[in-house]
Amino acid sequence: MSTSRSLISTSLVFLAFGSTSASTVRAQYTPIPYSWDAAFTNDEVAIIRAAMDKVHSLFRDPRVARITRGRYKYASVSNGNWRASGLKYQRGMAVGDYLFHQLAALRSVRFPHVRIKAYHSTGNDWGRANTDRVQLRFSRGRATVSGGFEIELNRYWLGSRGQGSDTNQWAGVIAHEMLHNLGHLHPVRGKVDDEFYRQHQINVFDAAVSANGGGIDGTACHVCGSAEGIDSGSSPAPGLRVAQEFQPVRVFANRNHGHTLRLPAGTYEVLPSGTWSYSRNTRWVGADGDPYKSNTGGTSYPSARFGELLLISDGVWSKYERGRTLYVRRSLTLLMNDRPREYGDNVGYLDVVLRRLERR
């Protein structure tokens, strides 16, 4: 019963957005194997099954991947998962690319089992999941997969009135939690009206699945109870050496667009020195920013400290971490974190040395 209902809604979506027919998409991929806790009621299971019917095709739908690629602003992955994939130190690989390699591989490998567990919380979180339960490994042009998905859905919301009964919304939640299992992160305590939270890759993907791969304007992503950090990026790379060291770049604190560099593609190490101040009368701080001033919001990068050095690599934002490397395809912008309209009273500068690294 749920299968036929889902087929109808899927074909309506394909009519509306004009792509391949539902049947060819269905035929393209083997069904995602999944199971659910005995704790769920029959009504809840019906929602899960209808949602999984959508996840089955949308998780592997190139349109969903394309929308995500075009819309995300922040990307954050678990360092362990990314490192183990074998892609991290590959030439031309950026944090933001990882998801798309994973999604492409999951279209062809045996899809791991998805175990769906129940929990109960009156908070505003709809789901939660641990990171790094599923590992893809890429070697000599081949992808292999290990582990299994394990996600939790909040029964407090499952089947509740309004969006809680909307299987599209639950498809988005399930996809979101599956991406956590694949190593993807977002800020802790995200809120659906928080642009910083919404614009993380995992939440853009969530929203694109919820919208059936159509336009995602106005579609809320979901609050998730998983606890993560931001932008694990990378730590010093074993087996790399300095290929090129650039003259120091002077990054002035009072430039609200920072300093943008065109660079040869490669993996870079960022070495800042000096102090600057995010307000003429406050303490001077280094690239790590001010640990004593709480950031109550409104800064260029919401989870970074005041005065922290921000790195914008080909449009993807992250914050400076000592020993971190990042991949730059074409351009890198260096910028102090401050409220966008309050750069005028900043003083000082950092001198930043960039080193391009390459394999030994």
Q: Interaction with Zn ion in 108-137: which residues (CB under 5 A)?
A: none
Q: Interaction with Zn ion in 209-238: which residues (CB under 5 A)?
A: 224, 226
Question: Is there binding between residue 95 and Zn ion (CB under 5 A)?
Answer: no
Burial 100-123 (b: 16+ CB within 10 A, else e): ebbbebbeeeebbebbbebeeeee
| Strand duo 325-328 + 266-273: pairing | antiparallel
> Partners of 240 in the beta sheet?
359
Query: Which CB sits closer to Zn ion, 6 or 226?
Result: 226
Q: How far is the CB of 224 from Zn ion (least distance, A)?
A: 3
Residue at shortest CB range from Zn ion? 224
Q: How far is the CB of 114 from Zn ion (least distance, A)?
A: 16
Query: Which CB sits closer to Zn ion, 47 or 224?
Result: 224
What mask of x and - would describe binding to Zn ion in positions 271 to 290, judged by CB under 5 A?
A: --------------------
Query: Which CB sits closer to Zn ion, 124 or 279?
Result: 124
Query: Which CB sits closer to Zn ion, 130 or 331?
Result: 130
Report d(CA 52, CA 32) in Å as an integer: 8
CB-hemisphere CA count at 13 Å for 63? 19
Query: Which CB sits closer to Zn ion, 174 or 310?
Result: 174
Q: How far is the CB of 206 from Zn ion (least distance, A)?
A: 8
Q: How far is the CB of 64 from Zn ion (least distance, A)?
A: 17
Q: Give the count of residues interacting with Zn ion (CB under 5 A).
A: 2
Query: Which CB sits closer to Zn ion, 25 or 75?
Result: 75
Among residues 311, 326, 64, 76, the alpha carbon closest in space to that of 200 is found at 76
Q: How far is the CB of 251 from Zn ion (least distance, A)?
A: 33
Q: How far is the CB of 123 from Zn ion (least distance, A)?
A: 13
The binding site for Zn ion (CB under 5 A) comprises 224, 226
